[in-house]
Structure 1
Amino acid sequence: MALRNVLQFIILGLLDQQPLTGYELTKAFDSDIGEFWSANHSQIYPQLRRLEQSGQITHEEEVSGEKLARKRYAVTADGRGALNDWLSAETEPTVGGRDEFAVKMYFIKTPDDPRLAHMLAAQLRFHEQKLDHLKMQMTRKFPDGQNNNDYGHYLVLDHAIRRETAYCEWLESANPNQ
């Protein structure tokens, strides 16, 4: 099956929650969405143009300060329909993700390789920091536990925490120096 342009649906979903500027959309990929999908402004802005040309989003100009004009985008009924169709469609399993660390690990031949302990420790530090960030997000966004109004967001964040916890446990158990 051909790859879908998932970015368009992420943007539609974010705009379905509330109207946002391109900058605000980009920032969403640095925080919440960035935990499971990445995109930068060079991808987001052309996608906004395509979505607007297709009638799935619209924008209003707003002026900030004396001269700064920015576009605040909102989803249209057509865009909401496309988002709902995508949400209802079967999801293809994700395969073939790029993981440079896993590729490097594949080529480590013995448990006494002098590079192994450092590689594992560096990854453990990174994933512990990521886990701490995710736990902080959970505490900040869901201080009282699961929220039925943002249940999907809660589930994704819970999944990310469990994934990072398991990854940290695996890195600790793989390190021959521990």
Structure 2
Amino acid sequence: MKKYNNTTYAILGILTTDCRSGYAIKQLIDQSLNHFWKISYGQIYPTLKIIVEDGLATVETSSHESKPNRNEYYLTYKGQETLKNWLEKPIEQIPIERNEILLKLFFGSSQSDESTVLQLTYYKQKLEARYQTYLSIEQAISINKDNDKDARYWLFTLDYGKRITKAAIEWCASTLEQL
């Protein structure tokens, strides 16, 4: 069986939702996945082309009055099985975080404590804003959770993001106290 990259599996997963067009896929990514998995338009369309070429999805062109034609993608049985097989495999590695604030802090002896405090304060503010965004997303998902089979799983991933963000905020507060 051919091995695909995680972006391909992410798009296969998105096609299990009501997202059918490249635009709708990007909208879902920007509203939910973007907090932990980034995919650009430049990745979406080439990946959709591969998915169709490999028989994992079909594409249908729909036309609407006063709108340009739109390609809509539908998973095939092969696409569903490919996604299922990937979902059931254990993860290959724990993700490695690339974090600019940690990189700067690692070399903090080369800058003033005031600059470090400013950096950490700004980072903490950004994290607090992110946490508020997560709360808003959680509220929106919770409203429809009984009507959406995916909502439960979306809330699981959101809970992870909230916990990680809260821990990072607490780390910032502790580090700032020590400085």
Segment of structure 1 superposing worse, 53-62 or 148-157: 148-157
1:22-171 equivalences under 5 Å are 22-66=22-66, 68-109=68-109, 113-143=113-143, 149=149, 150-171=151-172
1:14 has 2:17 as partner: no
8 A contact 2:59–2:74 mirrored in 1? yes
Give the structure with the higher percent helix: 2
Deviation at 1:17, TM superposition (A): 2.0
1:163–1:97 CA distance, 2 compared to 1 (3 A): closer
1:162–1:84 CA distance, 2 compared to 1 (3 A): same
Task: Point out where structure 2 has 5 or more consecutive residues left out of the alignment.
Answer: none
Mapped partners of 1:52, 1:167: distance in 2: 41
1:174 has 2:154 as partner: no
Mapped partners of 2:9, 2:69: distance in 1: 26
Mapped partners of 2:6, 2:140: distance in 1: 27
Q: TM-score, normalised by structure 1?
A: 0.89
Mapped partners of 1:160, 1:101: distance in 2: 18
Q: Give the residue type in structure 1 aligned to 2:174.
A: S
Q: Give the residue type in structure 1 aligned to 2:158.
A: L
Kindly report the root-mean-square deviation, in angstroms, between the aligned alpha carbons of the 2 structures. 2.5
- Number of aligned positions between the proteins: 176
Percent identity between the two aligned chains: 24
1:16–1:164 CA distance, 2 compared to 1 (3 A): same
Deviation at 1:145, TM superposition (A): 7.9
Deviation at 1:4, TM superposition (A): 5.6
Deviation at 1:22, TM superposition (A): 0.1
Q: TM-score, normalised by structure 2?
A: 0.88
8 A contact 1:59–1:71 mirrored in 2? yes
Deviation at 1:53, TM superposition (A): 0.2
